[in-house]
Amino acid sequence: MPKSSVKLVQNVFEARYERGYRYLDRCGDAMVILEEALPAISNNNVWMPEEMQPTGARIKCPDIDVTVAFDAYRLCVDHNPADVKCPFEAISKYVFDTVVAKFDIRKIIRLGNRQFYVIPTDSVEDADQLSVKKVQLKDWPKPESNDMNIRQCQVTTVFENSDRSIGTQLCVKPVSRVEAPLQVEKRLRTPPHLLATGQREALIGQLRRQKQREQDPVAGLMVDIDYNWVKPEEVTLETFFDKADKEIKYLTGLFQGK
């Protein structure tokens, strides 16, 4: 199985709040401000309002694949796919401050930063094998019948502090797209120079799979990390993102390398 590094595929910031009913009065104000101000934060990329309904509003920047959505209960900044680099934190902070000011938000119920990473593989089988390797459950639990082995592992772990105001959820599971091959033949993985014939084709095939893995993986092990604060007393997004970044970097570090 070729080695691959952890790749960020989606980044989400979400804030939930109480009594955001002013959304119905001032959605237009917020939208006008965001449409004008966000391009300056995001390298002059254009933002397009997509939807403004009593149930929610949405503005999107197609150039960097960031969508901002908000309603009377929450706001969400979604960077998906996270291929193009963007000032995600600055955008989130600007949107958050604007919504808090315009909708007169007094109480934040929850702040969350959820990041989805994938360790790319060439096939579904590789993804399953990687899940067994990375999720170290050892031999627990053992099946009753001896002719069965662990084929894949999915694990969700939740960490929380004592008063449950700060937490992290880590979920690891193999994922794949519909078009992902079930398995890659062993012969195709043989170094091309060791093949008796068709070395060139084999090399091209390997390079093609490597490029696919790096740019747009079809399968892999997903590491989904959700860092959050519940009912924070003081809301400073800089601190929140600093801590989220530290926690997420630490957890993804566990999946880097061998």
Residue numbers at the binding site for other proteins (CB under 8 A): 9-10, 12-14, 29, 32-33, 35-37, 39-41, 45-46, 48, 50, 58, 60, 62-63, 67-69, 74, 76-78, 80-81, 94, 97, 100-102, 104, 106, 110, 112-114, 116, 118, 124, 127-128, 152, 154, 158, 160, 164-165, 167, 169, 173-178, 219-220, 222, 226, 228-230
Helix pair angle (23-41, 88-102), 10° resolution: 150
User: Rounded distance, CA 22 to CA 229, Å?
Assistant: 24
Q: Nearer Cβ to other proteins, position 202 or 219?
A: 219
Q: Nearer Cβ to other proteins, position 153 or 202?
A: 153
Q: Are 221 and 121 in contact (CB under 8 A)?
A: yes
User: Rounded distance, CA 231 to CA 237, Å?
Assistant: 13
Please state the closest distance from residue 214 (CB atom) to other proteins, in A. Answer: 16
Name residue 126's amino acid.
D
Q: Nearer Cβ to other proteins, position 98 or 206?
A: 98
Q: Nearer Cβ to other proteins, position 96 or 202?
A: 96
Q: Nearer Cβ to other proteins, position 78 or 89?
A: 78
Q: Nearer Cβ to other proteins, position 202 or 252?
A: 252
User: Rounded distance, CA 20 to CA 99, Å?
Assistant: 9
User: Rounded distance, CA 49 to CA 35, Å?
Assistant: 7
- Using CB atoms within 10 Å of the CB of residue 102, give its burial: 0 to 12 exposed, 13 to 18 middle, 19+ buried: buried
Q: Nearer Cβ to other proteins, position 29 or 245?
A: 29
- Show the tokens assigned to 212: 């696919």
User: Rounded distance, CA 99 to CA 93, Å?
Assistant: 10
For the chain, where are the E strands, in sequence order?
A: 7-17, 48-53, 56-61, 66-70, 74-79, 108-121, 155-160, 166-176, 219-230
